[in-house]
Structure 1
């Protein structure tokens, strides 16, 4: 019995300090913990007409909390620490994007947190372009010719023979001119031009603008498009194809934006179209906005198609450009018997980050 009492006394003596320590710790943490966390943000250049800022991407944060000794912001994968609560951050992703910012106020190991949602506009930066300002052949550091009739009329039963002659492809007065001509040439009834940036320039993601005026006439099939760099090893459609703009003269003024990839190619491609005016008498800007989440298609900044991109699709690798004007074929259709010649004119190709 005495042994039992002795054990109880020892246990009681051991527990008393632990209980006291735990209680004291709780009181101290309560006293140290920050409270009343407030986050004020200023998107630089924000006005009624620029609701997401002036394009600089700069956002100023003023953070305060009672009993706080430091602050942390988590922006994407970047952590920013401040003792003053005054932080300036520059967002770099081009275009208009929405971010969730995690903000915490600390005192030692004690902290409180909140989130702030911001929509910020960043002006895209030009990373590559061809303005076609030098008369003669296209710049051979950027473009090369693809000539001939290809396999099976470039796989589409097209009727033209692509040449590297100035009659079919030239730069003149600030414009690239690709001219389709009715003429007998190497067994074909028409000639035209097709130039590519393959092995010279390719791009993965970004904003792409191409300003062009399209040829006219039944059977014309101009295209401003892209193929995956791995086409030689993967083949088509596994490499992916992005048709920024296609137009057929037999359906005047209808612009197509299309994506080809396994299971969705040829007549089963993912596509949409928009009807505009004066495609052959006026210049228009044909664009895509491309990232890991989506590919958006525009004409003159008017959105007409959004495609949901994903990691299992081929549209997450570098692509090169192709500019051409086909005649007839599976999509171009019947050629007007009165067709003589017509020209695809391209003012510029511009790539933004």
Structure 2
């Protein structure tokens, strides 16, 4: 896709971007397109088949960034600036210590080792290694704020630099702090993650602030999952953004969440909008507290969708400068 004669979306594999589901929607956003003559020129070129565009939304770029911490609209209620050394603050974070394959067919095991999750030089560093550990050929880290930094409505900001390399699958996301809120097939307090007989997921929801897979380096993704709309039924609700230097520089990944909508941002540019249809919990399970999760997966169903893991990339890290949670001021 070309805008104003410049290539803005390159080598977009439509079927792959739709998770292999032909009927799924596909939304792709770009930014920094300059129009000087009052006319926006868009050109689609297909390498195979015919290029099709269903709709085009154009928004004016905001030229001044808002300092949320000093804004009259938001109050900082929970944060970690990672201004210390060693393991993540146990008053704010907990580890998921899992074997390979527990969720999403991921190839790594998650540990609480310092080599996998460490706070150093002002950043949280989650590092994946190629090494034999338990049942896995790779190790990495996954931490969460459940019970320590839960949020119902507000804004979440995470400033991060993402890893590079085929096979990486980094994520900044949210899960319900009570995963059994809308389940219909689970036993209370059972291990529901990776459990095919328990429908806590997707029933109770998931909010993905950022996902990134290394075989598609220039693209980041914002998504919501729920009973009505998720990839299994070809009804996924998500959008993707062309963010060119995600492995070379820090960017801010954020959401704003109200009872009416969820908006996902890349560096203050909104690109994914999901509205409350007021049709019930199946489409809007986002009415109870959620918590933040930070992880770097290796391989898995999405990490290897573009090809096998490149073992030459290790060790590889996701770096997080800060996590900030805000509530709207009355």
TM-score band, normalised by the shorter chain? 0.5 to 0.7
Other-structure match for 1:240: 205
TM-score, normalised to structure 1, is 0.64
Other-structure match for 1:196: 144
- 5+ residue gaps, structure 2, are 1-61, 184-199
Q: CA shift at 1:205, angstroms?
A: 0.7
Say whether the 8 Å CA contact 1:229–1:239 is kept in structure 2: no
Which is richer in strand? 1
CA distance in 2, matches of 1:149, 1:253: 30
Deviations 1:85-133 (A, max 9, x none): xxxxxxxxx99xxxxxxxxxxxxxxxxxxxxxxxxx8431111111111
Deviation larger for 329-338 or 244-253:
329-338
| Structure 1 residues 201-212: aligned runs within 5 Å | 201-212=149-160
Deviations 1:140-172 (A, max 9, x none): 01111001226xx23311100000000000100
Other-structure match for 1:72: none
Other-structure match for 1:11: none
Q: CA shift at 1:319, angstroms?
A: 0.2
Other-structure match for 2:311: 337
Other-structure match for 2:119: 171
TM-score, normalised to structure 2, is 0.68
Other-structure match for 2:40: none
Deviations 1:237-267 (A, max 9, x none): 1110000000000000201000000032245
The SS at the match of 2:104 is helix
Other-structure match for 1:187: 135
CA distance in 1, matches of 2:314, 2:269: 33
Other-structure match for 1:298: 265
Other-structure match for 1:81: none
Structure with greater Cα Rg: 1
Q: Which of 94, 98, 107 in structure 2 is aligned with 1:148? A: 98
CA distance in 2, matches of 1:213, 1:125: 25
Structure with more contact order per residue of length (Cα contacts < 8 Å, sep ≥ 6): 2
Say whether the 8 Å CA contact 1:286–1:298 is kept in structure 2: yes
The yes-or-no answer on 1:225 pairing with 2:176 is: no
Say whether the 8 Å CA contact 1:182–1:340 is kept in structure 2: yes
Say whether the 8 Å CA contact 2:175–2:206 is kept in structure 1: yes
The SS at the match of 2:312 is coil
Deviation larger for 229-238 or 177-186:
229-238
- 5+ residue gaps, structure 1, are 1-49, 56-93, 96-120
The yes-or-no answer on 1:309 pairing with 2:276 is: yes
Q: How many residue pairs align between the two structures?
A: 236
Deviations 1:36-59 (A, max 9, x none): xxxxxxxxxxxxxx9xxx99xxxx
CA distance in 1, matches of 2:123, 2:73: 26
